[in-house]
Amino acid sequence: MYPGDVTTGAKEVIFDYSKDACSATNAMDGSANAFRDAAGNINLIVPNHDQYRITGPDFNNLTPDCVNGQIFTSDSDPDQGNHNYKEWMSAPYTTDGKQCMD
């Protein structure tokens, strides 16, 4: 348990499905993850089986990146034995700020 309140400032909406979704399946289905890339921009990943980046120089100026398309798409493999019908990245990271890994 943290000693005291770790929240600073008021809560803010950073992803509003009704105006920010890049596709019908671009809904948040887990905790959002952020990392800073080599250019210094924030990359926020909204977890789902079809994932897009939300990017910007800081958290007050994030924009969904629908133009560059999905950064991850599920295989949608109907064979249940393969365990990869609807999967998504849950903990992306980068070691060089250029390539996102999971």
Nearest to 32, CA basis, from 96, 89, 98: 89
pLDDT of residue 13: 81
Question: What distance in Å separates the CA atoms of residue 91 and residue 102, rounded to the nearest whole number?
Answer: 6
Please return the burial class of 31, using the count of CB atoms within 10 Å of its CB with bins 0-12, 13-18 and 19+: exposed
Q: Could you tell me whether strands 53-56 and 33-36 are parallel, antiparallel, or unpaired per DSSP bridges?
A: unpaired
3-state class (DSSP) for residue 82: helix
Map out the domains of the chain as residue ranges: 17-82
Prediction pTM value: 0.69
Say what the alpha-carbon torsion angle 57, 61, 67, 73 is, to the nearest 10 degrees: 80
Tokens 């909204």 identify what position? 46
- 1-37 confidence digits (pLDDT tens): 556 666 677 877 878 888 888 888 777 777 788 888 8
